[in-house]
């Protein structure tokens, strides 16, 4: 989604990035082989289902989708905690959607309200949401909203510095 509020000011707000589940955050000096080894050899694709769109109180959790705890994702997160340390795995499994500078937290709520008004957040009832990201379907009124995905790759990224400078170091394909 390329939505932005019209009132944001910080150049670090609303950088472009691929929506993702952050599995672990480790020092950039951690060897790639150690990170690859932390992923179980037989790790299958991980199904992710959307529970809610939420506003956070820090940059890397500005606006995100809380995901349901499910066996595959929870098991992977536990394996990573055992291999890399409990502190490196975020406490809440989520899909990051927007990063908004901490100096303008009001923009976080504004963008969620705008997404709802524009039909981008679709309430599916029973504590479930979907995201409508297609311009074509918004105009036609069709519901082509996505309420989850199968995580078929784990990316190892170097995330030092501003978001636009992040570098994907490796992509590990997971069998579906």
All structural domains of the chain, each given as residue ranges with its CATH number in brackets, are 20-173 (3.90.1140.10)
CA distance 57 to 61: 7
Q: What b/e sequence results for 153-162 when a residue is b if at least 16 CB atoms lie within 10 Å of its CB, and e otherwise?
A: ebebbeeeee
Measured distance CA(109)–CA(54) in Å, rounded: 9
Residue corresponding to tokens 């996505």: 146
Whether 12 and 162 have beta carbons less than 8 Å apart is answered as yes
Tokens of 115: 């997404």
Q: What is the pLDDT of residue 7?
A: 92
pLDDT tens track, the chain, 176 positions: 678 999 999 999 999 998 899 999 999 999 999 999 999 999 999 999 999 999 999 999 999 999 987 779 999 999 999 999 999 999 999 999 999 999 999 999 999 999 999 889 998 888 899 998 776 545 545 567 899 999 999 999 999 999 999 999 999 999 98
Cβ 93 vs Cβ 49: under 8 Å = no
């Amino acid at each position: 989604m390329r939505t932005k509020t019209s009132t944001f000011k910080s150049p670090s707000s609303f950088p472009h990035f691929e929506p993702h589940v952050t599995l672990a955050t480790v020092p950039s000096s951690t060897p790639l082989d150690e990170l690859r080894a932390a992923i179980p050899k037989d790790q299958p694709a991980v199904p992710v289902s959307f529970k809610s769109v939420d506003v956070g109180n820090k940059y890397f959790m500005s606006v995100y989708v809380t995901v349901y705890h499910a066996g595959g994702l929870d098991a992977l997160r536990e394996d990573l905690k055992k291999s890399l340390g409990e502190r490196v795995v975020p406490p809440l499994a989520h899909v990051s959607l927007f990063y908004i500078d901490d100096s303008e937290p009001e923009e976080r709520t504004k963008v969620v309200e705008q997404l709802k008004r524009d039909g981008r957040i679709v309430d599916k009832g029973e504590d479930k949401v979907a995201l409508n990201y297609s311009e074509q379907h918004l105009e036609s009124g069709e519901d082509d909203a996505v309420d989850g995905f199968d995580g078929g790759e784990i990316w190892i990224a170097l995330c030092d510095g501003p978001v636009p400078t992040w570098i994907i170091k490796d992509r590990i394909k997971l069998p579906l």
